[in-house]
Structure 1
């Protein structure tokens, strides 16, 4: 179990030698230089290059693209810049809502909740507490670990005929509610919520007598469960899995004592084993095959069970091996074992899923996200895509790639991405990379894929040998552009050609000359011809902000943070440094009193409705977020139908993931409009409409200045959702 069993990692083509990751210049034949020349180079030039590289990593797009965008908006009026900034800010709010949805996952029970559940449901109880002649089932180890009184009383208490200890409560003059409240605090470390201030004061005095005043996790950290535990975990490799004719050395078993009550409360898998052994009066000994759970993780897992903390320093195989994250993922991919946090977290994640330790699994996911970098993201994505991998980590990998795509375009990591992952990344509006860089990266990726195919078909033509994979002898003119176009057939449509800066970039012209791109028609999405003054080919910047210009693509410009900053800076220059750069578009009073239509969550299939109260619960949570979340109001500020719809979808996704409901069951229905008679223009596709309202669909969303409509307005389109269906059949 763990990283070693991962088929994607084993089949990865990464070599054991990591030197190939270096730039191509490092593989050239060394040039002899004098010692003095090297010293001068390192002193005078090396520092400058390092600074340039560090600054380049901090920029999401190049300086040339920034300069081209500044030239694009230099002639815009303040109203046009205001509209553009408002829409971009609205789109960025949608991105943040999407990030919140991707970070959402089902909540896992914490230590206090599991212990309280064990007390209330009498799970694996092994002692009783006597109070006013009544017996209350409890757990001896928990009482002794939390209370100094019960720990001292354990030495002198007698055992019942059933073989369990019987503890007398020290003060029977208190009420039963206060007695139960003391047990609640012992197990959870928190006061019951229904207590009055007077009762809390009485409970504090009672807890002083019980010597139970410290924090729950802190007391468990300092308590010696191995000495006071009643259950023995036996880790063994001698389980008969080895071949009968193969001689192997017998590895001594490793035994560790633990509390049966706590591990039964935290793990449903271990709980069933412990309850069965108690029912059969068998010794509490659990034999664990080390092929499933290695002994080196025993203390880490038990510590996480007791404290809800993941401490990798408790691994039994000694000190950690110092290695960078790149060597780490390559070690996993090539099957080599290497003691590093990334591999340990993957191993422990599989163990946690096997033992039904949800909190520990989420702690491992947090470690993997913290270790995510350009060097490790592909290995993590391959692992998370497997059966048994973490879908939560997979979402974080895609989000990371979108945020760092500009750096990926100029690194070796580009050639490790497969087509499906590229499509998933580039289909987003929030890829932090310019369109021309995306185009250049896709062509470079496609040429690399074409070379791979040429090597497989005719290796001698590529490298003059059947074994070498060197590609220095291949020229771009020797590549088949038609085959390259077929390789990129599903990727090049994701490039938003009308938003390439500068509009007639040499890379774009080169792609047209090579036949990789088809010439776009001089018509909009509905097939209507553009007049010359409105064609993006003649006036390539009109569609950036002009709402009367229909789109040739179903998507608008990507929401890039550098674009927002540059537009704001230009708007400040026009309005004055002290002026508010955003007009009432995004800060009007109506935006704070948006009245959203009530979402109706229904079951859209003929199957039996599981729990109707669940649907009402989803409705209430979605409606609360839509009315109170500032990001939702910000997403609705520009009046763009596309952003508003996306904002609602991300809110619903967040709720579904938090409640652990299959998100594929969501189906959003759109009511039809009656056309332009209502004065509403809300196209289904992405559209910049900062000056157009849709108050009949979303009342009081914001007041917009009136503007004349273009003759290109479509007559009827679908509107924002007012019904969200849970359809298990989809």
Structure 2
């Protein structure tokens, strides 16, 4: 293994059940570029430059990209109409009032930026580097003991061999679980703290932990000599990707079963069944060895508290000693109704690389899944799952495994797929107790920004009352008040038609005379029932800001009794004249914060320049 790439002996066979040549694709998650001081005091970093297929659009979900995607301005004829209406409103204002309105808009814009940044916030997921540092510190599932100057260092054979040519050659001559290996280092000046720091570097790519700064600087020559004796490792990411591809020194087999009795029996023994690799397991057992997936207990323990607790429980039962005696890997039996086999390659790949690659999903797998409610919700009982649906399902598996890096990667994929077509399923899923609150915030932000597009499509009628209510309460909704009123009423009328269809007798429903077939005229709608449907929504429409003031939409709503009183700024004040609901200083108690609607904001700024 040299500095320019990973190399593995031909005796290290590819991992079972996977394709070693699978292209690595970065989707949604950030690639963590680890930095550390090499043994020659050089800084190594890995730049992930893997190309996606040519027909796949490159996307990034960084804060800046999300901001550009959600907060964008469109130039259209409709925007020109809104600008004209705002220009007519401001034509009678003096410069002080216009300036006051612009300042109000600027304050709201600052709040929107803070709100947007807050919506993107989420707890930082532990990276591969951080989890491997904890693995070295806590010594989970060690399988070799290094003896240096009378001090024992429990370690993990696979990680050391993947990271360092010296250890790769040394450990190959000391096979077996729990082997004690005496470290004979030719380089002079190495003490126990420095040796510990070198091991920490192999696990994390960071050198110097546990060594004082002045001591580290005094031993530069020692580090140069060590690089000659040990060899210079690649970046942590490259070596861990190689370990995933080749699975050298694997000590665990992931097996799958839908036999509840067999799984329960395994659970009684620590949820792990240890069997010889040459055994098929007999009737009712999980898969044959050729169908099992190889893994390393150290990586499973480091990345997932679920696997760590499972393996620790097995150690307490004494099965660890049996496996060491028989020289057999541990077979971990997974319930396929909870963790479908088709997703396990994705899970393992993320454990070794911090990258969620849905290209590793076994599309033709007949795996069952206990998340039927989620699948039905997002797919409508269709055959093949979409990329978004797979990310949703995998998100729940990640929560079960307590693997937050995978969970956040799935969240990123779902948010990346937001569009008019996927908006409602994503909103429904993320609103559930089992959904992602982070995804829900992004979906609601998308709905507010794309509201003008949503209301002119059938997506409007699929929105729930709760989602529509939350949207029209926002100060940042990208729509005029006239359009908001117009389409909220349309939404209410559609809800009433659905009620009428549901009340039809079974014999009539679906026939040519049914409501759905013959249609309903507006005059046939019960205004009282429509008012009841719209009563939670209409109070949040800022009728004082409807433009033009003589709006037909507003007049119609008043005539039908949907709005009981006209906007307060249309009523005369005690002093005579009319109050201005747009301005704080001229509110006469009726001020309403104007929404940060882009065409209005831009026109107000242009007007201020020319005054």
Fold agreement, TM-score > 0.5:
yes
CA distance in 2 between counterparts of 1:429 and 1:256 reads 52
CA distance in 2 between counterparts of 1:348 and 1:308 reads 15
Match of 1:265 in 2: 302
Match of 1:218 in 2: 238
CA distance in 2 between counterparts of 1:485 and 1:398 reads 26
Match of 1:101 in 2: 118
- Counterpart contact for 1:263–1:271, Cα < 8 Å: yes
Match among 166, 187, 193 for residue 149 of structure 1: 166
Match of 1:166 in 2: 181
Q: Does 1:198 align with 2:217?
A: yes
Q: Does 1:256 align with 2:288?
A: no
Distance 1:545 1:446, change over 3 A: same
Distance 1:435 1:239, change over 3 A: same
Match among 270, 277, 280 for residue 314 of structure 2: 277
CA distance in 2 between counterparts of 1:59 and 1:204 reads 64
**Shift in Å at residue 62 of structure 1?**
3.9
- Counterpart contact for 2:102–2:604, Cα < 8 Å: yes
Match of 1:641 in 2: none
- Counterpart contact for 2:98–2:604, Cα < 8 Å: yes
CA distance in 1 between counterparts of 2:454 and 2:424 reads 11
Match of 2:497 in 1: 451
1:21-68 Cα deviation digits (max 9, x unpaired): xxxxxxxxxxxxxxxxxxxxxxxxxxxxxxxxxx99765964322210
Q: Does 1:364 align with 2:407?
A: no
- Counterpart contact for 1:60–1:432, Cα < 8 Å: no
Q: Does 1:115 align with 2:136?
A: no
Match of 1:209 in 2: 229
Distance 1:172 1:354, change over 3 A: farther
CA distance in 2 between counterparts of 1:425 and 1:179 reads 59
Match among 117, 141, 146 for residue 129 of structure 1: 146
CA distance in 2 between counterparts of 1:408 and 1:544 reads 27
Match among 228, 231, 234 for residue 252 of structure 2: 231
CA distance in 2 between counterparts of 1:138 and 1:423 reads 57
Match among 36, 42, 67 for residue 84 of structure 2: 67
Match of 1:565 in 2: 602
1:364-383 Cα deviation digits (max 9, x unpaired): 00010001111111101111
CA distance in 2 between counterparts of 1:240 and 1:467 reads 54
Q: Does 1:182 align with 2:201?
A: no
Distance 1:83 1:471, change over 3 A: farther
Match of 2:280 in 1: none
Number of residue-to-residue matches in the alignment: 496
Helix, strand or coil at the partner of 1:543:
coil
Helix, strand or coil at the partner of 2:152:
strand
CA distance in 1 between counterparts of 2:148 and 2:94 reads 80
CA distance in 2 between counterparts of 1:129 and 1:191 reads 19
For residues 286-685 of structure 1, the aligned pairs below 5 Å read 286-317=332-363, 332-458=378-504, 465=511, 468-470=514-516, 472-520=518-566, 530-531=573-574, 533-536=576-579, 542-545=580-583, 547-552=585-590, 555-574=592-611
CA distance in 1 between counterparts of 2:510 and 2:386 reads 41
- Note the residue ranges of structure 2 that are not aligned, 5 or more in a row: 1-71, 264-282, 324-329, 366-373
Match of 2:20 in 1: none
CA distance in 1 between counterparts of 2:354 and 2:348 reads 10
CA distance in 1 between counterparts of 2:82 and 2:262 reads 61
- Note the residue ranges of structure 1 that are not aligned, 5 or more in a row: 1-54, 243-247, 320-327, 537-541, 575-730
| TM-score under structure 1 length normalisation | 0.63
Distance 1:436 1:207, change over 3 A: farther
**Shift in Å at residue 179 of structure 1?**
1.9
Helix, strand or coil at the partner of 1:94:
helix
| TM-score under structure 2 length normalisation | 0.74
**Shift in Å at residue 84 of structure 1?**
1.9
1:492-540 Cα deviation digits (max 9, x unpaired): 001000000111200000110111101148599xxx982354534xxxx
Helix, strand or coil at the partner of 2:145:
strand
Match of 1:592 in 2: none
CA distance in 2 between counterparts of 1:199 and 1:468 reads 89
1:683-727 Cα deviation digits (max 9, x unpaired): xxxxxxxxxxxxxxxxxxxxxxxxxxxxxxxxxxxxxxxxxxxxx
**Shift in Å at residue 433 of structure 1?**
0.9
CA distance in 1 between counterparts of 2:295 and 2:528 reads 66
- Counterpart contact for 1:113–1:188, Cα < 8 Å: yes
**Shift in Å at residue 572 of structure 1?**
2.7
Match of 1:605 in 2: none
- Counterpart contact for 2:131–2:302, Cα < 8 Å: yes
- Counterpart contact for 1:293–1:351, Cα < 8 Å: yes
1:313-354 Cα deviation digits (max 9, x unpaired): 1223369xxxxxxxx999943223414311221121111111
Distance 1:450 1:157, change over 3 A: same
1:258-278 Cα deviation digits (max 9, x unpaired): 111111011111011222223
Distance 1:273 1:172, change over 3 A: farther
Distance 1:222 1:534, change over 3 A: farther
